[in-house]
Amino acid sequence: MRRLDDWDATRLEGLADQYDTPLYVIDRERVRENLRRFRDAVESALPNPRVMYAAKANTGPAVLEAVLETGTEIECAARGELQRAIAAGAEPDTLRYTAVNPPAADLDYAVELASDHPELTVTAGARDTFDRLAERGYDGRVAVRVNPGIGTGHHEKVATGKDAKFGIPAEEVPAVAADLAERFELVGLHAHVGSGVLHDDLDDHCRAIETVADLARETAAHLADTPATGVDAPAAAFEFVDFGGGFGVPYRPDEAPLDLSVVAERVAAAVGELPARVELEPGRYVAADAGTLLTRVNTVKETPETTVVGVDASLATLVRPAMFDAYHAVRNVSGADRETVSASVGGPCCTSADVFCTDRPLAAPERGDLLAVGNAGAYGYELASRFHSQPLPAEVAVDGDEARVRRERETMADVTRLERD
């Protein structure tokens, strides 16, 4: 596993000098390694599983292309993600589109895409969404997103498994599936129950998986008992059951990384006998530790309570601390050998939520120092904004000794480009 300290200081200084800050750095080799490790573990524990990358963790071309280089397919949750996966080289027939309260334009696009690429699968978690697909003449491959009534994860805002917004309530699923089997090509069941799951959350997560697997068996039996569905045996009901993503990475220094062989065994045990392919779609696990955010110190202010360190990144660059109370490691790349002080690091936004950390031990920062923020590869750039008229940062991709900017730094002209007199 990779901690923030494992990034080479000289290299990070060089990238910051060349490409300016704030700067996202993505290591493509690490993306590939994470996926291979995940796939190897899952393939050792389960017969013929399928792992997809959940694109929304990082839809930059550097990550999507690295994912495709490993032969991994992509799960998309919006029209734009489908378009970017295709632009990165994904074969449209391999794409999975998970439609959560989809805008009309997203459904139009997906239906149009599926007319030329009938292997594309649309997953939805509301009867209404299936009706909207049917209204567009769609009768292709669908999967039902279920709400198992159990959510897991590092923060209530990501525990989707019990949030009524996501999925069809478990008790309604057999009947809804029977109805869908008559109107579409029903191929799967799907649940994504949480995010940021580490070993401590594994019991809960596996209970949710068990619930979904039980529901899949119950639904398959119901489909086989309902002649109008055309399903003649439970084993013929589903091509796959997708248990979503949610696999965590250690953000804090005292957290242990997931032992993937344990995770895969536990997942396999929770799934039990299932006459369908098991699918998983990690996002964070693939991209998080492949990325770091580089930022320069603008200001150092000593106060009676703490050392206040102002940097050029902010909650507009990386919102996870402000939005999810997320912990991110912060390292002083320039002054590693200085004495340690207790520091609060934040950006130039006028809200007290704009802090990356408070009372954190940090090698005494000086103006001009380069700081690195760890695990910034997932839900970092993706959630960036232009708050305070700040242009979006650049993202540079490294791969071995190579470095290439894959998302240019915005200019003020980009920020105001759509404004009119």
> In angstroms, what is the minimal distance from the CB of 297 to ligand PLP?
31
Q: CB within 8 A of 240, min separation 6: which ones?
A: 50, 143, 187, 188, 189, 276, 277, 278, 279
> In angstroms, what is the minimal distance from the CB of 354 to ligand PLP?
24
Q: State the Cα–Cα distance between residues 397 and 392, nearest whole angstrom.
A: 16
CA distances for 116 relative to 102, 110, 296, 299, angstroms: 21, 10, 48, 56
Site for ligand PLP in 377-406 (CB under 6 A): none
Amino acid letter, residue 166: F
Contact residue for ligand PLP among 125, 140, 234, 244 (CB under 6 A):
244
Contact residue for ligand PLP among 148, 234, 245, 347 (CB under 6 A):
245
- For residues 374 and 251, the answer to whether their CB atoms sit within 8 Å is yes
Say which DSSP state 247 is in: B
3-state secondary structure 35-52: HHHHHHHHHHHCCCCEEE
> In angstroms, what is the minimal distance from the CB of 18 to ligand PLP?
30
- C-beta of 282 vs 365, nearer to ligand PLP: 282
> In angstroms, what is the minimal distance from the CB of 412 to ligand PLP?
32
> In angstroms, what is the minimal distance from the CB of 6 to ligand PLP?
22
Contact residue for ligand PLP among 27, 106, 201, 281 (CB under 6 A):
281
Contact residue for ligand PLP among 21, 98, 292, 390 (CB under 6 A):
98
- C-beta of 283 vs 310, nearer to ligand PLP: 283
Catalytic residue among 206, 349, 350, 357: 350
- C-beta of 57 vs 173, nearer to ligand PLP: 57
- C-beta of 283 vs 365, nearer to ligand PLP: 283
**Site for ligand PLP contains 365 (CB under 6 A):** no
- C-beta of 54 vs 90, nearer to ligand PLP: 54
Beta-carbon neighbour count of residue 326 at 10 Å? 17
* Helix then strand then coil, % of the chain, to nearest 5: 40, 25, 35
Q: State the Cα–Cα distance between residues 56 and 192, nearest whole angstrom.
A: 14
357 is catalytic: no
Tell me the number of residues near ligand PLP by CB under 6 A. Answer: 17
Contact residue for ligand PLP among 282, 347, 374, 380 (CB under 6 A):
282
Q: Which of 20, 22, 54, 94 is nearest to 194 (CA)?
A: 54
- C-beta of 281 vs 369, nearer to ligand PLP: 281
> Near ligand PLP by CB under 6 A, which window of 125-133, 175-183, 269-277, 283-291?
283-291
- C-beta of 198 vs 392, nearer to ligand PLP: 198
Query: How many helices, marked H, and strands, marked E, lie in the chain?
Result: 12, 20
Q: State the Cα–Cα distance between residues 192 and 282, nearest whole angstrom.
A: 10
Q: State the Cα–Cα distance between residues 195 and 284, nearest whole angstrom.
A: 8
Binding mask 179-218 for ligand PLP (x = CB under 6 A): -------------x--x-----------------------
Q: State the Cα–Cα distance between residues 74 and 91, nearest whole angstrom.
A: 10
> Near ligand PLP by CB under 6 A, which window of 50-58, 104-112, 215-223, 391-399?
50-58
> In angstroms, what is the minimal distance from the CB of 33 to ligand PLP?
17
- C-beta of 124 vs 394, nearer to ligand PLP: 124
> In angstroms, what is the minimal distance from the CB of 323 to ligand PLP?
15
Contact residue for ligand PLP among 234, 283, 291, 380 (CB under 6 A):
283
Site for ligand PLP in 51-90 (CB under 6 A): 54, 56-57, 75, 77
Query: What is the number of the residue whose Cβ is closest to ligand PLP?
Result: 245
Degrees, nearest 5: CA angle 166-122-50: 90
Strand partners, 144: 124, 189
Q: State the Cα–Cα distance between residues 9 and 172, nearest whole angstrom.
A: 54
The count of C-alpha atoms lying within 13 angstroms of the C-alpha of 123, restricted to the half-sphere facing its C-beta, is 26
> According to DSSP H, which parts of 226-305 are helical?
260-271, 284-287
Binding residues (CB under 6 A) for ligand PLP: these are: 54, 56-57, 75, 77, 98, 192, 195, 244-247, 281-285
By annotation, the residues acting in catalysis are 350
